[in-house]
Amino acid sequence: MRCRVFRRVCVGILSLSLLVTGMPFCSGGAKTQAAGVQSGVTEKKSVAKEKSGSITVDGNDIRANNVNGLTYKGFGLLSANSTSDLLMDYKAQNPEAYAELLQYLFGGKYPIMTHVKLEMGNDRNNSTGSEASTKRSRYEKANVLRNPGWQLAADAKKINPDIKVSILRWNAPEWVKSIEDVYKWYKATILAAYRQYGYMVDYINPNVNEAWNKKTDVDYTKKFAGWIASENEKTIPDAKERALFQKIKLVVSDEATSISSDIVASMKSDGGFYNAVDVVGYHYTTSDDKNGGMKWLAEGADKEVWNSEAQAVFSNSAFRPSNNVKDPTTEGTGLGGTGSALEMGNTFIKGFVKSRRTHVVYQPAIGSFYEGGQFSFKELVSARDPWSGWIHYDAGLLVLAHLSKFAVTGWENEDNTAGIWRAIPEASNSTASGTNPVDGRRGGENYMTLAAPSKDAFSSVIVNDSEYPMSYQINVKNMKLSDNQKLAVWETRAADDGSFNENYMKCTGSVSAGEDGSYVVKVKPFSVVTVTTLDVADDEEHTKALPVEGERTVLDTDETGDAQDTSNGILYADDFEYTGKRVAVIATHGAVSQKTEDYISSRGGDTGAMARYTHTLNGAFEAYKTVDGNRVLRQQLDQTENGVGHSWNDGDAVTLLGDFRWCNYTASVDVLFENNVSKAYGSVAIRQTGGSQKLEDSSGYTFRVSASGAWKLYRKDKVVLSGTASDQESFKKGAFVWNNLKLKGAGATITAYINNCPVAEYTDENPITSGRIGLGSSYTHTEFDNLRVMKIKGYVPYYTELLDNMETYDLTPEKNTKLVYQGTWSHANGKGMYVYQRSMSETSEAGASLTYSFTGTGMEVLAKTSEAGTVLVSVDGGQPEERKLQKADNMNMSCSVSGLEYKKHTVTIALKEGKFFVDMVGVLGDVCEISDENTLTENWQDKRNNDPTVIPTQTPTPEGPEEALIPDALTTPVPTVPPIVYPTPSPVTPTPQETAPSPVTPAPQETAPSPIKTPTTSGQPHATPVVSGTPDGTGQIAQTQAPQDQYFTSGNATYRIISAKKKTAAFVGLQKKNVKAFVIPASVKDKRTGKAVVYRVTAIDKKAFAGCGKLKKLQIKSKKLTSIGKNAFAGIQKKAVISCPSACRKAYRKLITAKTGFKKKTMKILF
């Protein structure tokens, strides 16, 4: 068949700026004159004056009888928002690397990690990406195999059975309509995990992440506690299962950045709520509430307080010492500075000092998702290349190890005999400023002390995230130590002149007490030190080096996609069959066993399994077996069948696959639509590097084709060509037919094909030159098959090396020179999350240069560049050639030197005028000489179209028993507990930095309310205090109205009923968002029943005006607003004017804060 002449367009397009969200602030890089080569920046000799501090360890301050509040539980990892998407690929492709990772985190006598926290996903984006839902419909059997977090927890428990597992949700599947449904969903999933993997979840937060609602969540928490206690032989027949299930504890409130006093106030006034809650957790803050409630919980009530979501390291610590920031005066911050491992250490110390956090959970601890995702590069471990086994272990792990490897951490047992060490408030202090992040660059005391309850051992961890040397005097009394006890000193800091890790976790010796009985310990600038009574200098667990990342092999496989093969024309291929593929089983103690299990079965089964190398941003893409026995990649979330739940970031279904070092290639895939053809489309994208959850925004080029044959070619989010396929392309319209989509990127020329016929060609004057592939669809069942990514003859297929801007040396013991900067440059960390490793080098000095020697055919510089400056390029010492820098987005090419002979070259790029930014440097490999195997010899045809056998999945029939049932709550009413006013512990009195803090003396009358003892039914455990029944004491479960009944529209706006009884409603958002002005009324009518019901508007929901970029004038007529949600005003024009009733001036100024998205510097409030 002859293909019709395709369109050719050559136009220039201005680069689009991508949203960059990262650190709340970052220190500007001090511009210093590099002395020739800026390689292997060594530790700077501090000229700052030494400061002093003191620590007093008093055995009488060890609260041995406090078993929950002051026992230090160690650290945890959060697997959520798709951040573990690639982990099971490590297990399948490189099981030894996977096992080593788990052993390092969870293994040993002193494990670093003691807890795995899991998101209960709903197949929608909840920041970085989406987590697979365990139950997509009410009647589906819970499936934990298709979510990597559950398997991660199972494997971790093989290494350390004592680790805890907890669950929490951001959003729920569409079928979950009430708190009763939440309980059924959780219960079914928890029991499925127990039956599959043999472990029971330890903790649940019944409520929504970072969305505490006092009006509902106190009640919901008590209901959960009552239901758990009421489980019986009818609702959980297996006695062992039931007993373990009834030990589950409850967590509240997982709020972010702010500490509400509501939680503790409610616990003091409501005995049922007090009994129901075991843990109070907060995110991204070190503060207590205004009444000292967290200290009261830990010390007075003996309940756990967690930092239940914290930030780890915002950089690659191996190369961080290349920075030349002055913070404040000395050039370079070593392992410290903004977003650093030392800053993380100061944060967990301050969290204990200020609010008694004795457990810290990092989100994510393991970054096993592709670069460019939201909240990239804020992790302790980077695991993004499962095909190579490459893993970066950050020095931030050593900062945690400085605590966890020198204390017995975890959870005390019921007999209080496990010997878990207690944190000592009187022997801990923090002078760092701020809360998230904290800033210790002024120097001063920052330390925390843990001690054995038997008083015979202690360790103090000291963090010095400053340029000032510190001298600590340590006084010890009332401890059961040996005579002439020495204290061992362990230190981690940046390298001197040797390998990057030469000063990682080194025992520098021991100190003896002086004549006055005190010990003196010197702490170097930008270092972390542990002073301990433990003699572990010869223990392998303490002396084994932090694993060093190996070579990052580019993904270049055979036709199966399963094995590396650089000799063919294939970059990657996947037919999603995985026939005969097996996966190694992790044995007890974490070793890779000889046993294997079926690949598909271990990852979800025939109805939907984790597909190889996919990282999903929105929706659910799984390997799915159709009725004809063929496996496809199916987008599982269907608007008609399942409904589509809420999300953090809206957008259609997107999954990513491949290596972001790929450059010139063709991506080809077959697509079939099962239903809803009016909305169905399929997309294939190339050169995706991130910056958005939407496929078009985050990819260089996207080709979208609908079921009608209408197609669009995008350059980023702008349509550059469009049309409709005709019979000449053999396009099969509608459902249950296969078509092939193909997108080719050869240099600056992008060509789109349908069924192997070219339909569009576009030449980009500012080309995006590298990135992985992406697939997308609407929320309809869409199938993809026969994915092929092919090299192109005559073009370089990928970068053979990709360096961070800070990579001025390699990680070998020889510390060889890599990137060389000359002239005045700023090398700074603390950049945004879409900047590679959150670091950037920049110069505006004419003549400042970057030089690199490599073997290849060229070199490209990638960095966000908004101004087209001019540079001089010299190859192998030749005559400099003037070139214009290209405008580019984050992680896109701004300067290219290509077309060289494949051999060793030295390229120097010097700035002539303007500004020159360096984020990454990519080395172009050899040109592909293999013919384009992606061109078919005959017209494209798929015989499956002649007799399609793929049929849609049947919607579960809404009848029959549900998988999980709710028991009748115990009928004993909860006694009314009158409000109690408790004095808070005396706060630590601020003192000069060189002196120890004043001891905290607990008030003797400060006790927790007595637990309310509830009669239990036969066979139920008595150990865990729980609330019985429901708040009204009737024992009946109140039915919650379904969400769709709570929402109604009026005009262009959507409202949510808060209280039908009180006739109050919240403004939710606008249906049409392109308005320039809008009025939030004082009241609104709900006319759905035919009879108007008037509701007073008393709240504005979170993200209410998201996407309303044209909104300039907003008038609030309601005088009864009591709450405005997080980021409610985010999205309106930055110079918008908000008009409010004059009578509400005082109240509304307190409501309209930065948390609501209000920009004080640019927006105005009029009264």
The residue from 897, 924, 951 where one domain ends is 924
196: tokens are 């599959």
Residue 477 CA to residue 199 CA, distance in Å, equals 43
Q: What is the DSSP letter of 578?
A: -
The one-letter code for the residue type at 483 is: D
Same domain for 791 and 804, yes or no, is: no
Burial status of residue 1145 (CB atoms within 10 A of its CB: 0-12, 13-18, 19 or more): exposed
Residue 36 CA to residue 586 CA, distance in Å, equals 50
Structural domain includes residue 1037? no
Same domain for 252 and 321, yes or no, is: yes
Same domain for 486 and 565, yes or no, is: no
Same domain for 846 and 773, yes or no, is: no
Angle of the 214-230 helix axis to the 179-197 helix axis, nearest 10:
50
537: tokens are 């200098």
Does this model's pTM top 0.85? My answer is no
**pLDDT of 74:** 98
CATH no. for residue 1094? 3.80.10
**pLDDT of 1018:** 32
Same domain for 811 and 776, yes or no, is: no
Same domain for 860 and 766, yes or no, is: no
Same domain for 242 and 196, yes or no, is: yes
Residue 1048 CA to residue 361 CA, distance in Å, equals 39
Residue 283 CA to residue 260 CA, distance in Å, equals 12
Same domain for 906 and 782, yes or no, is: no
395: tokens are 């020095």
142: tokens are 């819970």
Q: Which residues contact 539 (CB under 8 A, 6 or more apart)?
A: none
Question: Residue 614's beta-bridge partner residues?
Answer: 657
The one-letter code for the residue type at 910 is: A
Residue 1124 CA to residue 901 CA, distance in Å, equals 62
What are the angstrom distances between the C-alpha of 811 and each of 495, 816, 821? 11, 8, 18
Burial status of residue 1048 (CB atoms within 10 A of its CB: 0-12, 13-18, 19 or more): buried
**pLDDT of 37:** 39
Angle of the 214-230 helix axis to the 262-269 helix axis, nearest 10:
50
Residue 161 CA to residue 106 CA, distance in Å, equals 10
Mapped onto helix, strand or coil, the DSSP state of residue 591 is coil
What are the angstrom distances between the C-alpha of 1096 and each of 459, 1058, 1093? 58, 10, 10
The residue from 742, 769, 796 where one domain ends is 796
Mapped onto helix, strand or coil, the DSSP state of residue 280 is strand
Residue 416 CA to residue 67 CA, distance in Å, equals 7
Same domain for 649 and 535, yes or no, is: no
Cα 56 to its chain centre, rounded Å, is 38
CATH no. for residue 181? 3.20.20.80
Residue 656 CA to residue 335 CA, distance in Å, equals 33
> Is 157 within 8 Å of 163 (Cβ atoms)?
yes
246: tokens are 């009834």
136: tokens are 């997509």
Structural domain includes residue 338? yes
Mapped onto helix, strand or coil, the DSSP state of residue 695 is helix
Same domain for 855 and 719, yes or no, is: no
What are the angstrom distances between the C-alpha of 339 and each of 365, 838, 839, 887? 14, 9, 10, 28
**pLDDT of 572:** 98
DSSP string for 1067-1116: EEEESS---SEEEE-SEEEE-TTSS-EEEEEEEE-TTTTTT-TT--EEEE
882: tokens are 């003037």
Tell which phi-psi region holds residue 268, choosing left (phi > 0), alpha (psi between -120 and 50) or beta: alpha
Split into its structural domains, the chain has a count of 4
121: tokens are 């996903």
Integer Rg of the chain from CA:
30
Question: Residue 250's beta-bridge partner residues?
Answer: 204
**Residue numbers of the domain that contains 1084:** 1043-1166
Structural domain includes residue 423? yes
Structural domain includes residue 952? no
**Which residue, among 695, 688, 605, 715, has the nearest Cα to 652 in the 3D structure?**
695
What are the angstrom distances between the C-alpha of 608 and each of 120, 182, 344, 612? 17, 23, 39, 12
Burial 327-338 (b: 16+ CB within 10 A, else e): beebbbbbbbbb
> Is 564 within 8 Å of 556 (Cβ atoms)?
yes
CATH no. for residue 774? 2.60.120.560
The length of the chain in residues reads 1167
**pLDDT of 1071:** 81
Question: Residue 119's beta-bridge partner residues?
Answer: 168
Question: Residue 824's beta-bridge partner residues?
Answer: 33
The torsion of the CA quartet 33, 36, 41, 45, rounded to 10 degrees, works out to: -60
Structural domain includes residue 602? no
Whether residue 111 is preceded by a cis peptide bond, meaning omega within 30 degrees of 0, is: no
> Is 922 within 8 Å of 799 (Cβ atoms)?
yes
Residue 380 CA to residue 338 CA, distance in Å, equals 15
> Is 342 within 8 Å of 440 (Cβ atoms)?
yes
The residue from 796, 813, 838 where one domain ends is 796
**Which residue, among 970, 834, 825, has the nearest Cα to 909 in the 3D structure?**
825
> Is 525 within 8 Å of 464 (Cβ atoms)?
yes
CATH no. for residue 840? 2.60.120.260
The one-letter code for the residue type at 265 is: A
Mapped onto helix, strand or coil, the DSSP state of residue 157 is helix
The torsion of the CA quartet 593, 597, 599, 603, rounded to 10 degrees, works out to: -90
Structural domain includes residue 562? yes
Same domain for 261 and 392, yes or no, is: yes
What 382-386 contacts at long range (C-beta under 8 Å, 24+ apart), as own/partner pairs, is 382/316, 383/86, 383/87, 383/90, 383/101, 384/86, 385/552, 385/553, 385/555, 385/659, 386/86, 386/87, 386/89, 386/90, 386/92, 386/93, 386/94, 386/613
879: tokens are 């005559």
483: tokens are 């005579």
CA angle 553, 612, 717 (to 5 degrees): 85
Average pLDDT by stretches of 10, the chain with 1167 residues? 36 31 36 37 62 98 98 98 98 98 98 99 97 97 98 98 98 97 98 98 97 94 97 97 98 88 94 97 95 97 97 97 96 98 98 98 98 96 98 99 99 97 99 94 98 99 98 98 97 97 98 97 99 97 96 96 97 98 94 96 98 98 96 97 93 98 99 94 98 96 98 98 90 96 98 97 98 98 98 98 98 97 98 97 98 99 94 97 97 98 99 98 97 46 45 47 80 35 36 33 36 34 32 30 60 89 91 89 85 91 90 93 93 92 88 91 90
**For tokens 């994208």, what's the residue?**
685
Same domain for 118 and 236, yes or no, is: yes
Structural domain includes residue 337? yes
**For tokens 């030349």, what's the residue?**
324
**pLDDT of 959:** 52
Q: How many CB atoms lie within 10 A of CB 708?
A: 15
How many alpha carbons lie under 13 Å from residue 183 in its C-beta half-sphere?
26
Structural domain includes residue 69? yes
What 292-295 contacts at long range (C-beta under 8 Å, 24+ apart), as own/partner pairs, is 292/984, 292/985, 292/987, 293/259, 293/261, 293/263, 293/264, 293/265, 293/984, 294/259, 294/264, 294/355, 294/356, 294/357, 295/355, 295/356, 295/984, 295/985, 295/987, 295/1000
Three-class secondary structure assignment of 1031-1066: CCCCCCCCCCCCHHHHEEEECCEEEEEEECCCCEEE
